[in-house]
Structure 1
């Protein structure tokens, strides 16, 4: 690792750590500045003894500095219960991570492979019939909200499951896997359609820009065939913005797709966020917000480091 690359990595990690610290501090104060009585909200609909309420009031009335230091020492403390579910918030969050990663991760994987291929084909022969059709379709799909696509798919394909992650009563490993895959068809399609349009557009635009570069003319002048010029020179450089975008979108895997998970009752973090907002469930919202922010910061850092690997010139700037 060169000195320039080492300095680039250290700067990016430092900025990410600073952002994480800001997120933790912001997360602490944001939900304490909201109007209303948090104790009244927490005890709503519960049969709580007066002694418990007095204890909660005493905890809330502690000096804000003491509360902040305690929170900063362990922002992932599992002793705080959700108002809506009456369970530790991080226990609830942990249960919902895997369904969201499975759903959004699968959609991003499918969309990235198909989108890159479509973008390369349409960009390499820009102006052709395939390019015009692909560009028109992707622009239309990109303008569609995810929840609207999800509802259209529910109406157009009623033979697929309309909600949930599994069918009650299904047992056995293979049967469970197949049943989950069957339930994933519609929500994955709704998400993949939007991501596909985004990746195709970015890949096409990036490849069109690369086609104007002088080094491609030089490669042709050396006698390289068009397929080799595309595969060895144009595509690897054009992939950089698309790969960065894919990694940035991976940061939202943790956050999930709130609208799609709500439409399909998918038991992930997106649906959990919607349920917390309906409460409002402040402790749960605080935990979910922190997790979402960390996911975005971490994957943004990975995108920056990947870009430096794919294009070493970045680390020297």
Structure 2
């Protein structure tokens, strides 16, 4: 068991090192100079910089050095936990991420939990009787729903729920200039206000996840129908509901756990679009703005954290598999 753990950890450490290297070189492949947007050459420039000020900024961000020296400075900063200073915002990147992380985490957790629960229920209902009319209808509906791009789904919900019906706010994560939120009543009022603002963004991410979880669960459920232990459960006189909940559902934990980890990467990518459409002040909106400003430190930090988060979830899934499935340990 210890050897398997060390081997698994070594593999993911190598992957993490590859992520760090890609994280360094990828933003530098973008066209343009990150200081153009601060020196007056960019479209969004606010305050023109003098030549001396520009030279000082280039020296501070090591932009006047060779790529090798920039990589050395970048790696030494990571070892110290320093994510750098934002070029466009003149603020520590770690502070910017900490301020916006709760918004993105709220969207991710709510959308993943709801999509997994609802999608698993739909997939179980569809795959329990494969080939029936219910199966064909649920499977085709889930397939068509998963084909809708998230930005179109976000715009549709925004136009329908916010503009058309007026049930939800148009943008933002909370009401601007809201009443005082002191005391228990104020905290509850603030929580409801945030939930009201995040309903449409979370629904956008959850809808795509529901269809994906439904398709995965449907295929896994259909493959269980002729298993001997399921036939034996029916022979004991259990009704279909008891067979599904007591025997089939626990055996769906492996595929659902795997897909839950894989889905995290898709939700992180979708957050970039969804937060931009709804102007949610999360990491996705921060990343979108950093792309336009060629802000290397922010782009590097967001790419690094999101990639390491996906690797961490995949690593934990592998550990769960090794713990629960002895045959997997023997194969490795």
By how many angstroms is 1:192 displaced?
A: 1.0
Contact 2:122 2:214 in 1 (8 A): yes
- Which residue, out of 268, 276, 281, partners 2:290? 276
Residue matched to 1:231: 245
Contact 2:39 2:50 in 1 (8 A): no
Contact 1:210 1:238 in 2 (8 A): no
Whether 1:203 aligns to 2:203 is no
Matched positions, count: 312
If the length of structure 2 is used for normalisation, what is the TM-score?
Answer: 0.84
Residue matched to 2:17: 21
By how many angstroms is 1:211 displaced?
A: 1.3
By how many angstroms is 1:222 displaced?
A: 5.7
Whether 1:71 aligns to 2:97 is no
Unaligned ranges ≥5, structure 1: none
Residue matched to 2:174: 166
If the length of structure 1 is used for normalisation, what is the TM-score?
Answer: 0.87
Distance 1:36 1:180, change over 3 A: closer
Residue matched to 2:53: 52
Whether 1:285 aligns to 2:288 is no
Distance 1:77 1:167, change over 3 A: same
By how many angstroms is 1:27 displaced?
A: 1.8
Residue matched to 1:80: 85
- Distance in 2 of aligned mates of 1:222 and 1:259: 51
Contact 2:261 2:310 in 1 (8 A): no
- Which residue, out of 265, 271, 275, partners 1:257? 271
- Distance in 1 of aligned mates of 2:300 and 2:284: 14
Contact 1:23 1:293 in 2 (8 A): yes
- Distance in 1 of aligned mates of 2:36 and 2:132: 64
Cα RMSD (Å) of the superposition?
A: 2.5
- Which residue, out of 190, 215, 224, partners 1:176? 190
Unaligned ranges ≥5, structure 2: 182-186
Whether 1:95 aligns to 2:109 is no
Please give the secondary structure, in 2, of the residue aligned with 1:267. coil
- Distance in 1 of aligned mates of 2:33 and 2:308: 28
Contact 2:86 2:93 in 1 (8 A): yes
Please give the secondary structure, in 1, of the residue aligned with 2:98. helix
Which is worse superposed, 93-102 or 62-71? Answer: 62-71
Residue matched to 1:154: 158
The ranges of structure 1 where at least 4 consecutive aligned residues each deviate by more than 6 angstroms after the TM superposition are: none
Which is worse superposed, 278-287 or 192-201? Answer: 278-287
